[in-house]
Structure 1
Amino acid sequence: MSNDNQGYDYGTLVNTLIKAISELSGGLQLIESASGGEQPEYPFCQYTITSPYIAISPDVVEGEQFEIVISLTWRGLSGHQVLNLANTTNKYFRSQEGRFFMQENGGIVVVSVQNSGLRDTFISIEYERSAGIDLRLRVADSYSSEVQEIENISFTNENLGG
């Protein structure tokens, strides 16, 4: 979680997902979509936060729970390999093991998992094969505001008298 008055730290979500993907895939990498830097060797997984904030209770501000939708896409040169990885990822996040891992390591609740299917891309002379899932997650915000504490309250009843 983050410091008070900062809101939710999306880095917590990303770090938890990096660990989860590494665990479920035997050490394969999760990277941010459309980011700079060297692309890892195939296969690897990319994430995109497609909906960073979906309100659950619009009146709650402090300690608010809200939902996030994140897309996970496996990329490789083999269609069946990325389909297998996407299917394994789907099952992991629907399983008790995956749900427990997310809760224990990031305070993240897995709300739902949807298959998104194939997402192949033509690159120069060959196809990059890709398949993925979308995760709907619930997190708790650590935001709090300064509220002046009332230490003493005294009441005077002006109707008492003679």
Structure 2
Amino acid sequence: MTYDDIWFPLQNGLETFLGIPVIQAEGLGKQPPYPFIAIKFTLFGQGVGQVSEKLEGTNKVITQALESVISVTCYAERIEDAHNKTNQARNYFLGQGHYELSDHNITVVDVMPANNRDVFLTTDYERRAGFDVRLRTKLVESFEVGVIEQVTINERMEE
């Protein structure tokens, strides 16, 4: 599963649910008007549990659960807007998003409590609130393995 396989369902689902822009945090693009959501992957693709290996014909298939953690932060001019949109975003992951993301093979494992993430900017605060979400996906890697069709053994005795 690639970054985009996770990012696009997250972005599209949350943006549709909230009705405000959802962007990648710390990007180089222009910041949208307030309020907006920024998502940052703080952990991407850590293996969880046992690796499964099996042969399907001449293909070896390796499967493993991968865990990622995303940080979801709402940026707003007013603290109440940041808190309200943050709570709505949490509700997305706890409800509708849980089902929508599962259609893309993304499982919501845990939605952490929301907290204040305000930042002081020269003369005023940028109001922020946010939370983290643990997600799981499945890595499936398949490749062809060689098959030995014939073996010739030469025996030679040395004395």
Residue 142 of structure 2 aligns to a residue in which SS? coil
* Contact kept in structure 1, 2:86 and 2:114, CA below 8 Å: no
Deviation at 1:63, TM superposition (A): 2.5
Larger fraction in strand: 2
1:33-44 aligned within 5 A? 33-44=25-36
Unaligned runs of 5+ in 2: 54-61, 151-159
Cα deviation for residue 91 of structure 1 reads 1.4
Note if 1:21 corresponds to 2:19: no
What is the CA-CA distance between 1:137 and the residue it aligns to? 0.5
User: Quick one: distance in 2 between partners of 1:151 and 1:115?
Assistant: 58
Residue identity (%): 30
Shift of 1:92: 1.5
How high is the TM-score relative to the length of structure 1? 0.80
CA distance in 2, matches of 1:16, 1:147: 34
CA distance in 1, matches of 2:74, 2:82: 6
Q: Residue in 2 aligned with 1:76?
A: 76
Structure-2 change in CA distance of 1:83 and 1:146 (3 Å): same
Structure 2 equivalent of residue 98 of structure 1? 97
Report what 2:139 is aligned to. Answer: 141
CA distance in 2, matches of 1:34, 1:60: 36
Residue 100 of structure 2 aligns with an amino acid whose one-letter code is F
Structure 1 spans left out of the alignment, 5+ residues = 1-7, 153-162
Query: CA separation in 2, counterparts of 1:151 and 1:100?
Result: 47
Distance 1:150 1:52 in 2: 38
Amino acid at match of 1:117: N
Shift of 1:58: 4.4
Question: Which range moves more in the overlay, 10-19 or 52-61?
Answer: 52-61
